[in-house]
Each structure stands twice: as C-alpha cells, then as structure tokens.
C-alpha cells in the first residue's frame, strides 16, 4: 500500500500517482480522495478502502454534509460533502475537473 501526503492530508490506498489516482480509477479526471466515515482516512476509491482500509465500511450520515470529506488531488483543497455535491465535478479552488462517473458510486460514501 502506498501513502501520499497532499497538502497535509494523508491518502492511503493502491495509489499510482500524487494526484490520488489509483489502480482502480486512473483517468485524467480521477483526482479526488474521499475520507471514509468509518475510519476518517482518505482513500482514492471504495475498492482501495475495501482492500486496504479499516474493514468496517460506513457512509457519511445525511446530516453531516458540512464535514470536509473530499480532497482535490490537484491542489489539496478539502471540500465539504455539500460543496462536492454542488461542484459540478470541478474543484472550486483550482478548477481541476473531477470524474463525473464518481456520482454513480455516491451511495458507497454518502448517505441520502
């Protein structure tokens, strides 16, 4: 397992670069890491957390959308869950694009 330190935030998982891309998701726009509610550690994706994480997957409760839980792999900006939902898959700090396909896995990270 590789660890990357991005602007004082540690990201764990099967990383392949310092923008938080991993062996599971490595396109140009795959540049976020998500802090998992169960362990409060950033991982690039649900598969990295399943393989190398705490072993207890839990999603962020719907009443905690104000928590910083998404990390831009380009600039290191931490977004709250609500900011991420409203971001239109673009970092509000550096304008780097995020992968819109991540929305398909929303239920693996965030409660409704």
Cβ count within 10 A of residue 85: 14
pLDDT in tens, 36-94: 999 999 999 999 999 999 999 999 999 999 999 999 999 999 999 999 999 999 999 99
- Rounded-to-integer distance, Cα 34 and Cα 81, Å: 10
For residue 39, the number of C-alpha atoms closer than 13 Å in the C-beta half-sphere is: 16
pTM greater than the 0.95 cutoff: no
Tokens of 6: 């991005």
């Amino acid at each position: 397992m590789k660890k990357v330190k991005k602007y004082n935030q540690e990201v764990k998982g099967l990383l392949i670069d310092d923008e938080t891309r991993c062996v599971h998701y490595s396109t140009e726009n795959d540049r976020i890491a998500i802090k998992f509610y169960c362990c409060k550690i950033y991982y690039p994706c649900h598969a990295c957390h399943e393989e190398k994480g705490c072993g207890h997957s839990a999603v962020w409760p719907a009443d905690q959308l104000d928590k910083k839980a998404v990390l831009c792999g380009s600039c290191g900006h931490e977004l709250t869950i609500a900011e991420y939902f409203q971001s239109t898959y673009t970092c509000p700090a550096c304008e780097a694009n995020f992968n819109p396909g991540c929305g398909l896995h929303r239920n693996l990270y965030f409660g409704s």
